[in-house]
C-alpha cells in the first residue's frame, strides 16, 4: 500500500445557546442549521458515534479507482479511531489509526508505531475542521464567525460562514439555502503527495434520518478542485459514552 495513499486517506476523514463572536445574521443561520439537522438534543448525539462507510478513491491519475471501507469512531473533542480497509488489484490491506488527545499511533500488517509529531498535528487540525460538520463548538468564545459570499452547489444556492480561531486554519461552512443543511466544508490541509497545503472541499448530500437526527448519506471530497474520494455512509450508531479501551493502544 503506497504511503502517499495511506496518508491522503488518513487526512480525509454546530448544540449551542450562543455562538462565538458571530453577528445576528450568522447566529440565525447556524441556529437554523441545528434545527434542520434535528434540533439541539438530537445534534448533541453527533458528539459520540460510529460511522461505517464504503467508497472509492482516485489518488493516482491514470490508474483505476481504489475501493475502500472505513469505520470511524469518535468521542469529541479529542478521541478518534479509524479502521480503513483498502482493496488494490483484488488484494486487501487494513490500517488502524487512533489518536487520544495529543497521542496517536498507526497499526498496519500487525505492526504498531507512534505517529510523528507532524502527523499528530495535522490529524488534530483535520479533526478541528471536521468537528464543525457535527455543528459543535460554535459557542466557543475564541471563534470569529463571519458571513462569506453565497455560492452555487449543483445549481442550488448555498449560504456560508468563515470560522477563524487563533492557531488554526480558517474553515468555511456552506448550508443549503432551501433546507438549512450543511452542504460543504472547505479548508486547507497538508497534502503529502505535493508536500504543501492544498484546498480540500467536502460535499454532503443524501441526508438520512437516524432516530430524529439527520446525517449525510454521501460525501464527496475534492482537493484542488479534483475528486479525491466518493464515500457512501452505510451505518450510523450513537452512544452515550465509549469505553476508554476503544481508543487504547493495540
| CATH number of domain containing 214 | 2.50.20.10
As given in the structure block, the three cell numbers for residue 122 are 495535522
The answer to whether the peptide bond before residue 77 is cis (omega within 30 degrees of 0) is yes
Domain range for 89 is 3-247
DSSP 241: -
Give the model's pLDDT for residue 17: 35
How many domains are contained in the chain? Answer: 1
Contact 5, 57 (CB under 8 A): yes
- Could you tell me the three cell numbers for 70? 472505513
The pTM of this model reads 0.87
Contacts of 195 (CB under 8 A, 6+ apart): none
CA distances from 237 to 66, 78, 144, 228 (A): 26, 18, 32, 26
The pLDDT, as a whole number, for residue 250 is 74
Q: Is 19 helix (H, G, I), strand (E, B) or coil?
A: coil
* Cβ count within 10 A of residue 71: 16
Successive 10-residue mean pLDDT values, the chain, 250 residues: 47 40 84 94 94 86 77 93 86 90 89 92 92 80 91 97 95 97 96 88 97 96 91 97 90
Residue 133: predicted pLDDT: 93
Amino acid at each position: 500500500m503506497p504511503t502517499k495513499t495511506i496518508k491522503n486517506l488518513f487526512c480525509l476523514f454546530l448544540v449551542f445557546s450562543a455562538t462565538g463572536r458571530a453577528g445576528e445574521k450568522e447566529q440565525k443561520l447556524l441556529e437554523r442549521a441545528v434545527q434542520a439537522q434535528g434540533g439541539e438534543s438530537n445534534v448533541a448525539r453527533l458528539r459520540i458515534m460510529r460511522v461505517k462507510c464504503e467508497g472509492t478513491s482516485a489518488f493516482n491519475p491514470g490508474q483505476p479507482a481504489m475501493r475502500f471501507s472505513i469505520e470511524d469512531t469518535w468521542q469529541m473533542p479529542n478521541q478518534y479511531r479509524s479502521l480503513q480497509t483498502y482493496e488494490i488489484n483484488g488484494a486487501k490491506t487494513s490500517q488502524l489509526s487512533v489518536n487520544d488527545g495529543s497521542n496517536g499511533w498507526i497499526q498496519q500488517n500487525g505492526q504498531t508505531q507512534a505517529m510523528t509529531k507532524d502527523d499528530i498535528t495535522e490529524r488534530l487540525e483535520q479533526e478541528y475542521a471536521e468537528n464543525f460538520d457535527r455543528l459543535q463548538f460554535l459557542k466557543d468564545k475564541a471563534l470569529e464567525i463571519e458571513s462569506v459570499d453565497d455560492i452555487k452547489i449543483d445549481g442550488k444556492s448555498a449560504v456560508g460562514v468563515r470560522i477563524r480561531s487563533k492557531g488554526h486554519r480558517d474553515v468555511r461552512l456552506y448550508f443549503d439555502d432551501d433546507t438549512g443543511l450543511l452542504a460543504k466544508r472547505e479548508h486547507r490541509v497538508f497534502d503529502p503527495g505535493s508536500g504543501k497545503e492544498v484546498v480540500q472541499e467536502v460535499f454532503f448530500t443524501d441526508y438520512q434520518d437516524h432516530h430524529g437526527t439527520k446525517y449525510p448519506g454521501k460525501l464527496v471530497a475534492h482537493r484542488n478542485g479534483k475528486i479525491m474520494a466518493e464515500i457512501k455512509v452505510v451505518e450510523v450508531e450513537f452512544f452515550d459514552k465509549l469505553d476508554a479501551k476503544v481508543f487504547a493502544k493495540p
